[in-house]
Structure 1
Amino acid sequence: MLDIKFICNKRSLSGILVSLSLVLSGCVGFTEDWFVCGDASESASPGVEQALSPYYNAARFVASGKVDVDKKKDSVTIVLETLGGCIKEGDAFDWDGDYYFADANTFAYSFRGDTLLLSRIYEPDPYEVNQERYEESFIWVGGTPGAFDGVWLMTQCRYREEKMYCTDDGYDQFFRFDNGKVELRVVDRENYDYMQTIFVDQLFEFLGDGGSIQLETPYYYSDTKYGQERSGVEILEKTNTAMKFAYADMTFDLTVDYARYGDSLHVTLKSGDASCVGTVSEMSEVGPEMCVVDNEDYLWETSAGTLKYERQNAREFESCIDAILGRVSD
């Protein structure tokens, strides 16, 4: 059993509280005093699971499977299953309804009131240098103190060797455990700042030095600092989905018109009368009608061994921007 050390640092907890407030719109009423050390009975926060349930119900289904809790070893194994899928064999594509894949992950667990820590140890890669063995604990909230069954929010904060780290991604993951079964759902975060993401950073870099723009959804949903200073961009106006900025004596208007994680994206960049549109369409589960050779250029293998569909127009988007700038595309 792992020896999990729980840190009580009010300043370091601010990242958790910010993440939760974005998802729950402040309805739960978390305070710094909510997260304390001590017995589960002392730190329980009643009503959290009830507050999470509407968000879970509105979230999109991603995967389901099984969960096995070993109380003697304080361990839990979460198995997300793939049942059926699009398979490529040689040059042929076929939808196999009997295909099965299990993605299993085992963690040590510890409860602190309605907070659940799932921990694991990462061993260094023997073929990599300067890697060390470390322990990482993922912070989950919302369930019933001392019990797995219920709805849990996997927060974007974790402990690594007793230090807390938080990310700021544009979606949240909810898990529901029910009598040995698990279901994973994902929901886009309300008021997420799409104008401070890797995609925008890459756009600024492309304007300045070229490079490339990735339109895949992870780049829209990963928070990062702006790169406008090194690219010579001046931001004039900004909201969470739109931005007006100046570059090379030109004014640009950038808008994220539509964004749905794991589904589709639509972004528009305008300058004067010129308009460039970037689009992404993707499906993690490919049905029989899409599992055909005509979609070969858009079918990509996943870790489960099945194929997912992803189609985007990044190169056309770049060429359109080059035309606005009067540059010749590569």
Structure 2
Amino acid sequence: MHPPRFWSDPDGGPIARLLAPAAALYALGTARRVRRPGWRAPVPVLCCGNLTAGGAGKTTLALDLGRRLVARGRRVHFLTRGYGGRVRGPVRVDPARHAADAVGDEALLLARVAPCIVAADRAAGARAAIAAGADCLVMDDGFQNPGLCQDMPLLVIDGASGFGNGRVLPAGPLREPVAAGAARARAAVLVGDDLTGASAALPERLPVLRAQLDMDDAGALLDGRTAIAFAGIGRPDKFFDGLRRQGVPLAACLPFPDHHPYRDHDLRRLGDAARAHDAILLTTPKDAVRLPVAFRPQVRTVDVRLAWTDPAAPDRLLDLWLEETPR
């Protein structure tokens, strides 16, 4: 589903106010859950999480930090719930054997960088990773999951959407109040320009690292033709706007819900649109792994990465994490 429009209104309006009692109960339930004691792993644990429902760039950050840890010679393993997949785990992702409907799209991307364990039970996933030789763990999501103690909980914030109307589900997009979540975080990572003033809602003691999404040169993939862009991510417009900033000639932009499983009728729609406009289909890596293998040759993928305002900031953060938790 697409997020309701009132989630992005300044105060949510009458619908948000009507849902305020349900939001209060949701926030209370989250507060009780995160207070439960979790299992402390014998290796350092970092979590890339967020406070809102939907995408904020957690997987992009996890991939960035994972690559840095691999370059340092660390035996990093990723942990993820495998959202959108049916496997509960713990299971190590094998891209040659697993598809997105089994382990989720994000797990397949993570497994390209380092071993990735899918597990609904984060502590069980951590034990499996450690048994396989992990000397540090990077969680993709799970900020509100208390099952595994997090030595370095990071809040990822999308600069364009921020915290929405500032209200908790279902009155707004927040999984918990900003103050409650920020109190547990060690740092925040703001991706994109802070268009909503989200950083002002964070406590002064919380370090804020800043980055922009940097996309591959999509124009080089087009052979002089126009493009039809499609994306089923948390905010498809983030992908489309990035292409526009590059000056990519777009015949159409087709948004889909986050983690959308592409069916035959979707593929026909995409193929028909490409033929009608004599256009190249462009999508994100996260969408590409959800496409049937036979359809992928018809699509070109535009990769994204983080471009840090301070290029040394992420390595300083990793240094702090590993020095504080040398287990």
Bin the TM-score by the shorter chain: under 0.3
Task: Give the structure with higher Rg (CA).
Answer: 1
TM-score, L = length of structure 2: 0.26
Structure with the higher fraction of residues in strand conformation: 1
TM-score, L = length of structure 1: 0.26
Question: Does 1 or 2 have the higher relative contact order (CA < 8 Å, sep 6+)?
Answer: 2
